Amino acid sequence: MLNIEAISQGSKRALARAITWVENDQPEAAQLMKALHGQTGRAFSVGITGPPGAGKSSLVNWMVKLWRRQGLRVAVIAVDPTSPFTGGAILGDRIRMADLTMDDGVFIRSMGSRGRLGGIAAQTFAVGKLMDAAGYDIVVIETVGVGQSEVEIVEWADATVLVMVPGLGDDIQAIKAGILEIGDVIAVNKADRDGSDKLVAELEMMLSLAGPRDWRPPIVKTEGTTGAGVEQLVAAIADFRGYFQASRLGEERRRGRIRREIVSMVGQRIDRLLEQTVAGLSGWERLVDGCLAGTDDPLSVAERLLVEMGIGRKIRQPDTIDRP
């Protein structure tokens, strides 16, 4: 049963069940997301990303406590990796957030990445919208521990906090492309360890090389064990929020997100159509046989599949697309 009213009135049970529908892409989800869209857009979403073991969950635990002291209601999505082999997952981020469980103004949900490689799950943003509609003021999205290029979070969160730790590499790492290019606020966690001042200096240098910008990401030293620096981190996020709302950035990011939301929904449906088409094909293995033997080729098979899906003729070859 769809219980939109219960969700907007803050029933955690209704929200939890709705999240399951959305995660599983169950039929109820589509109806729910359409009905709830009008109630979204009030929450501020904060992505937390960084390498595995950087202390993301511990920092989130401290940050949520500070936001709670400011009277804000906070929802957390904690994403951990799904096994590409079995589809199973161990979702362990709650271990570091145990003391938030009984807080009435906090809702935490663990998600498996379920095959997505950008550091979040396909439905993470939709789950964030549900939390927004349920009246949470802040929606925290903690990504899986990322390597060098899983930067999808920047496309889906209002603000991104990059958590770095000393001792992961030399200064060449700091000028590489990818993860270090993101982050509206940078936290250097485990700041009690050797090398944290050096890391701050390297990150400052990297930011200087990027040239003058309207918003220069502040670097905040934090300690996940004691909570030191977390107050400054939360203040830096609030500063960014002020800039986000006052400048064009806020509207730009949110418009971009809606575009991506629409495109990704179309993409998901095409993926499903492809799966169904392949599953309904009687001669799938024979087509593979043909490619193996060299009498057929994968591209020709792909084109025939597109025709089978009913969209083959609609896709123009790149060289026929009109250039503006």
Partner 1 sequence: MAKIRVLIAKPGLDGHDRGAKVIARGLRDAGFEVIYTGLRHTPEEIAETALQEDVQVVGLSLLSGAHNTLFPKVVNLLREKGLSDVLVIGGGVIPDDDIPGLKAAGVAAVFTPGTPISEIVGFISSNVKC
Q: How far is the CB of 29 from partner 1 (least distance, A)?
A: 12
Contacts of residues 276-284 at CB distance under 8 Å and 24 or more positions apart, as own/partner, are: 277/305, 277/308, 277/309, 278/305, 281/308
Our finding on whether 205 is near partner 1 (CB under 8 A) is no
Our finding on whether 247 is near partner 1 (CB under 8 A) is no
The answer to whether 109 and 16 are in contact (CB under 8 A) is yes
The structure tokens listed for 194 are 């050797």
Our finding on whether 89 is near partner 1 (CB under 8 A) is yes
Our finding on whether 26 is near partner 1 (CB under 8 A) is yes
Return the residue of 47, 50, 55, 112 that touches partner 1, per CB under 8 A. Answer: 112
3 state DSSP class of 81: coil
The structure tokens listed for 203 are 């990150």
Q: How far is the CB of 133 from partner 1 (least distance, A)?
A: 16
CA distance 22 to 70: 30
CA distance 59 to 233: 9
CA distance 286 to 99: 57
Our finding on whether 252 is near partner 1 (CB under 8 A) is no
Return the residue of 87, 167, 178, 242 that touches partner 1, per CB under 8 A. Answer: 87
**Shorter beta-carbon distance to partner 1: residue 36 or 79:** 79
Return the residue of 107, 136, 240, 244 that touches partner 1, per CB under 8 A. Answer: 107
Dihedral sign for Cα 223, 228, 230, 233, please.
negative
- Strand 185-188 with 138-142, pairing: unpaired
Q: How far is the CB of 169 from partner 1 (least distance, A)?
A: 30
Our finding on whether 25 is near partner 1 (CB under 8 A) is yes
The answer to whether 222 and 193 are in contact (CB under 8 A) is no
**Shorter beta-carbon distance to partner 1: residue 62 or 107:** 107
Question: How many residues of this chain interact with partner 1, rule: CB under 8 A?
Answer: 30
Return the residue of 69, 70, 95, 181 that touches partner 1, per CB under 8 A. Answer: 95
Our finding on whether 130 is near partner 1 (CB under 8 A) is no
CA distance 155 to 198: 30
Return the residue of 3, 8, 110, 264 that touches partner 1, per CB under 8 A. Answer: 110
Compute how many other C-beta atoms are within 10 angstroms of the C-beta atom of residue 235. Answer: 14
Return the residue of 66, 68, 72, 94 that touches partner 1, per CB under 8 A. Answer: 94
Site residues (CB under 8 A) for partner 1? 12-13, 16-17, 19-20, 23-26, 82-83, 86-92, 94-95, 98, 101-102, 107-110, 112, 114
